[in-house]
A and B are shown apart, each in its own frame.
Chain A
Amino acid sequence: MDVLPTVWFIAVAALWIGYLILEGFDLGVGMHMLVSARGSAAEREGQRRVMLNTIGPVWDGNEVWLLVAGAGIFAAFPLWYASLFSALYIPLTLVLVGLIFRAVAIEYRGKHPGARWGRFWDWAIGLGSFVVAFGIGAGLALTTTGLPIDANGDRVGGPFAWLTWQAVLGGLAVVGFALVHSAAFLALKTTGPVRERMGAFVTKAAPVALLPIVAWVLLIQFTTGNVASWLLVVGAVVAIVLGYVAALRRREGRAFLGIAVFVALGAAAIFTAVYPVVLPSSLDPAFSLTVSREMAATGAAVYAGNSDYTLGVMTVVTAVALPVVLVYQVWSYWVFRKRLGAENLPAVHDIVPAVRG
């Protein structure tokens, strides 16, 4: 029976969608900090701090979605986890370095007033966010389009076998999406010049920046699409059109919502189209990893998942925990719901040794 593996396929998809929506704007804010501040040095610094503090209280909670998505794959489909993570060894190492620098930068940037200190951490946040967005996008694209894995699930073809046009497409897809999504988020969460510029960025950049993610969705649909996945694509198109119109009218809440629903339905369309295969092998379809025991029983692919007992335990834990997580995460957004402007930020204070003489 494929009930529990299917439940967990949906759960993993939901965790990734949650991650894309939530970290999508965190990563984009990081990149915008590097490229989208304008004006005098003091103005730029003010704008960067405004951007950073919109995600300040929530970014760490958002990042946990990545950890849980990764651990969820491990807990439910360990063969998928093992093959995908080892095949993507180099890009994931870079993603880890990006995550490390970004996390430390967010916490440390404001702990010292120097201009060079600030600049260094801006690069750490900006570049770190870019590398993470690109790497995660490439990884997700590859697990939906295929990797050269052998019968044991091990990558063949050397350390750069993953570097294909599909990987680049997926990387650009998440980077482009994060830039647009975060611009909508910043327009919604700030006042003053950041709000103006980011509101305009959404309408100017979206038609180009969202092309790669649209291309990725369509690529999957034309390969393995089905009626349900096409319906989701239609929903995604409706969402982005409504979101775009709202952005043109500077209805910031609706624009953000439209883009979030767009990526949720777009990603859902991809997962629906590839089901039940979670990692196609480009060497031999029989080496592909599937979440379907029935499919594996025919020899058409390898079952990547766990026993029903383990999946059942994880289902109970997730069914209890995840709704509670959603409640308190929503509450944290509610607590910090006010728009931020440069005038709201306390000055960065210097740390002077408490020493006499």
Chain B
Amino acid sequence: MDPLEIARWQFGITTVYHFLMVPLTLGLGAVVVYLQTRWNRTGDERYLRMTKFWGKLYLINFIMGVATGIVQEFQFGMAWSEYSRFVGDVFGAPLAMEGLLAFFVESTFLGLWIFGWGRLPKAIHTATLWLAVIGSWISAFFIIAANSWMQHPVGVELVDGRPQLVDIWAVVTNNTAIAAYTHVLVTAVAVAGGFLLGIAWYQLWRRRRDGIDTVDASGRVVVGEAPEIPGRDKLDHSVWLKSLRIGAIIAILGFAGTAVTGDLQAKLMFQQQPMKMAAAEAACETGSSFSILAFGDLTASDCSSVVTVLQVPGVLGYLANGDVNQTVQGVDDLVPQYEEKYGTTLPEGAIYGDRSGQTIDYVPLMYVTYWGFRIMIGFGALAAFAAAVALWLTRKGTVPANVWIMRLAIFGILAPFGAAAAGWIFTEMGRQPFVVAPNPTPGGIDGVYMFTAAAVSPGVTAGELLFSAITLTLVYLALLVVEVYLLVRFVRGGVVSAMPELAAKDDDRSDDDRDVLAFAY
């Protein structure tokens, strides 16, 4: 087996997996910050309960993001040593800044928040969460800036065949980075929205199912309580209804944000990576129509068998340049341009190993880019539409008693995750065959690009890569099962699972003992 293929699969698997946890961490963190701040301001117990419950789910998910994030940083050196050598003057800096300016803040203040209940004054305790979440948002910026440099290298000069950093400001204000960062943040908000919506829906459904809440003749909710179940009081209803509405609203706003920022990204992509955008469209010929449905062998790089059965004139042109008459170059026209600029075969050289002299295929896997692009938009839109429907269905204060709608709401949690994963797969695979894509825009630096085929560690064997790829995949799968198991347990337990003090059993420790730790692992 080719080490390059294994290394790419490993990077893809570990990155997509890592990004299951990341948007929930970013989005839910912001939600919990809002909830605790509201509690601090108003003293309203509903906000305390929401802070505790959603905060607990936040932590269960957070740790998985931390654990899988370390793999990402090590992987560049382990599996992609040639890449690390080539980009080292530029790429390591944002990673180190991420650690110094973001990870330290995030981890230290999150520790203070988790263990600080009852030990820190309320305002300071709330501030620790603010700092932890701000830290995580800053960390997202630096890693996106690093990734965006691979999509659109700026701020460097070519010295002895290697890019040398000359303008760090250009790297952190890269227009690609700004567009991608805002896109990731609003995606995170949408992911958190769907998460709140699905779980709160289940809770309201459970209360109806258990006969706690009923509806009157006009369909309006009559809130009840179940004294025998800790936490299932009247306030509990309001906790979930509020959570549901917050979730639905931010899911809709988040999706609207992804549309705006995604459009910005697409317009940049037409200039910066025209082949990626053409491949996203399976646009073989130059034109301006947006394809709704294409059939045929999208794996073929010569476009010969692609049949577009449904297309909307003008939309692609609008996406590219805000102009329906704008024509966009198709794959068939772009390939010769790429071949002329970057060659038809991989250069001879040690870093290419057996791949020296291979023909370069400049067209990314079109079934991945085409469908990745559509799944991203489709799942995102579906989730936002479902959120709007959810708001309407719950306008009278509770959810329908139908179990299938509840299941749909739970299942709907997955849609924004799917959209996010598809988006990453699209943009990373759409960059191939480059790991550092050339920058063809005016003012771009000529010659700063790297083929993925040259990036893998020359000294590492296929066996080693296979070992790590299989080990990490299995560990990740097992831990995903554990995480979902715990999340489900805490969700089914309701607010009391995160607030044992709501149960009748009192903490029998003395005040002095309690003063040491209010929470413990």
* Residues of A bordering B, CB below 8 Å: 49, 52-53, 56-61, 63-64, 66-68, 70-76, 78-79, 81-90, 92-93, 96-97, 99-101, 103-104, 106-112, 149-150, 152-156, 158-159, 306-307, 309-310, 313-314, 317-318, 321-322, 325, 328-329, 332, 335-336, 338-340, 343-347, 349, 351-357
Contacts and interface: CB of A to CB of B under 8 A. Distances in A.
Interface string B50-83: 0000000001101110111011011011110110
B519 A346 contact: yes
A321 B111 contact: no
Contact of B63 (A103, A325, A351): A103
B92 A346 contact: no
B226 to A, nearest CB: 6
Interface string B68-102: 10110110111101101101111111011111110
B507 A346 contact: yes
Interface centre among B70, B159, B165, B507 (most CB of A within 10 A): B70
A284 to B, nearest CB: 15
B461 interface: yes
A83 B458 CA distance: 10
Interface string B103-122: 11101111110111001100
Contacts of A97: 471-472, 475
Contacts of A52: 521
9 nearest CB pairs, A to B: A78-B88, A85-B77, A154-B459, A75-B92, A74-B92, A354-B494, A356-B210, A82-B81, A68-B99
Given A61-B107, A78-B92, A309-B166, A345 B517 contact: yes
B492 A346 contact: no
B212 interface: yes
A159 B211 CA distance: 63
B467 A90 contact: yes
A84 B459 CA distance: 11
B520 interface: yes
B489 interface: yes
B521 A109 contact: yes
A82 B85 contact: yes
A201 B261 CA distance: 59
B104 A86 contact: no
Given A63-B70, A85-B81, 18 more contacts: A56-B115, A57-B112, A58-B108, A68-B104, A82-B88, A83-B81, A85-B84, A86-B81, A97-B475, A100-B67, A104-B64, A106-B521, A108-B486, A149-B459, A306-B165, A307-B89, A309-B164, A356-B211
A314 B206 contact: no
Nearest to B112: A332
B108 A328 contact: yes
Interface residues of B, number: 101
Contact of A79 (B66, B88, B108): B88
Given A68-B100, A152-B350, A57 B115 contact: yes
Contacts of B350: 152
A187 to B, nearest CB: 17
15 contacts: A53-B521, A56-B114, A61-B111, A74-B84, A82-B82, A99-B70, A104-B64, A150-B459, A152-B458, A153-B81, A314-B93, A317-B97, A317-B100, A335-B120, A339-B516
A147 to B, nearest CB: 10
Contacts of A108: 60, 63, 482, 486
Contacts of A85: 74, 76-78, 81, 84
A85 B71 CA distance: 12
Contacts, number: 299
Interface stretch (B266-274, B308-316, B357-365, B496-504): B496-504
Given A86-B459, A89-B460, A93-B468, A53 B517 contact: yes
Contact of A89 (B60, B84, B159, B468): B468
Interface centre among B96, B165, B471 (most CB of A within 10 A): B96
Contacts of B447: none
Given A60-B111, A154-B458, A355 B96 contact: no
Given A81-B92, A100-B475, A340 B516 contact: yes
B59 A159 contact: no
A92 B74 contact: yes
Contact of A111 (B66, B84, B486): B486
A87 B513 contact: no
Nearest to A52: B521
Contacts of B60: 107-108, 111
Interface stretch (B38-46, B228-236, B332-340, B387-395): B228-236
A325 B67 CA distance: 21
A354 B74 CA distance: 42
B85 A345 contact: no
A344 B159 CA distance: 61
Contacts of B103: 64, 67-68
